[in-house]
Structure 1
Amino acid sequence: MKKIVFLIVSLFLMGCSHKNIANNKSFAEICNTEEAICKKNYGVLSEEIEKFNAAGGAFILVNLKNNEVLNSASISILESFDYNRDYSYTPNNVMKLLKKERLATTQQFIEDYTAFIKSAGKKELEELRGNVTNRAAKKINIEGISIYGLTATDYKLDNPDDVVTTFLGHFSYQGQEYALITFLDAPKGIKSTYNFNSSGWNATELARKIVESVVLNANLAKR
């Protein structure tokens, strides 16, 4: 794990205490599918934030065919704050994969990844698939679904006891391809994760539940 650098000038905001999702002050969402699906995915995000006692988090689900954002949500304890727009960060594994040297928002990372994956070679795809089947992202591995991706766990500069965890990847279902990023801000280690707080224990769990939501709602695949 390596250190993470933020663009946000007011870094002290990231050190705010966080106890319960009910205390969150801001929520941002894009919903281009059925409201019931968006509601379910928002519920998944809020449950995972609360489960890991995180300061917030976000996800973005994109249809790779037309680059349409099907659903995204951002939850924060900060008033008028959107992780997809206002939060810039550098997950080292993601930056290396995408060959980027700049800070980016979750929205920018998903855009860069969708562009990358359309020209990715066999070796690159095998590496991403191996992360899911045998390495840090294996918590998201679902039998019968081809899921590719990578995890990132990075320390926060303002509080080295906290990390930012990310899963970035894509998957196929019923002839359609989707890109997905999940992100948790300062998740805590809990009993069921043996007190580990890395992305393989939390961001991938969030990602798995979003993927399962797509699989259980075939109407997403018809878009």
Structure 2
Amino acid sequence: METLCGGTSLSGFISVGCIVYDFQTLLIGLVAVIVAIIAGIPVWRQLRDSNLQTRISHRETLAALLRDALTRFRKADESISAPLSTAYRLTHDPSGEPQEIDTENAFGLEQIVAGKLDWYLVLLAGTEHENIEARKAELQVALETLDETLSNAHWADHNDQDDEYRSIPDAEWAQIVARCAEAKIEASRRVSEATAAYRSLKGAQDAWAQTLRTRIAKLDLQIAAAE
């Protein structure tokens, strides 16, 4: 048929046959395309549903991460905010100027601050976003330094140079007494450093929480558009 239809001089009957042949060929092609489209619809729907389910699952994971993070942040704040507030009050006057801490307050504050946040800074070290971990490490150092300073600020006043357990040489005792006096003055600076370190940690925590919220909101829009 292709040879006949390709000729230049054809009878009317052959011409009609060629037209019918061409139409059948076109029709068969169209039918094949339609069948392919129809056959592909379930696959496309399956892919769309799969992508939607993936987004929903990812959204649930991020939401769980956010809830857990906010719970940790809240517990950490409850653990350290009050001790730091007390520390600031004991080492600064009402106008906010640094002041020397006395012996009893140094001892009491040491008991309040020591190890207060170890459950978060030590036991949960390496479990959060790297920016948060960096700030946690800084706060840990600041709190340990504050604790050591407070200990020095009262030790000489609560211990004797000579007792039944030890006898401290005069030169060494003089250094301990001098360090005690220095620590009473130094305590306000150490409190300020610990407070600043905690503010930095809270900033990193808030930034991470906002990142999670933004990602969740983006997924919510994608899920709504796909449904």
TM-score w.r.t. the length of structure 2 is 0.20
More strand by proportion, 1 or 2? Answer: 1
More helix by proportion, 1 or 2? Answer: 2
TM-score w.r.t. the length of structure 1 is 0.20
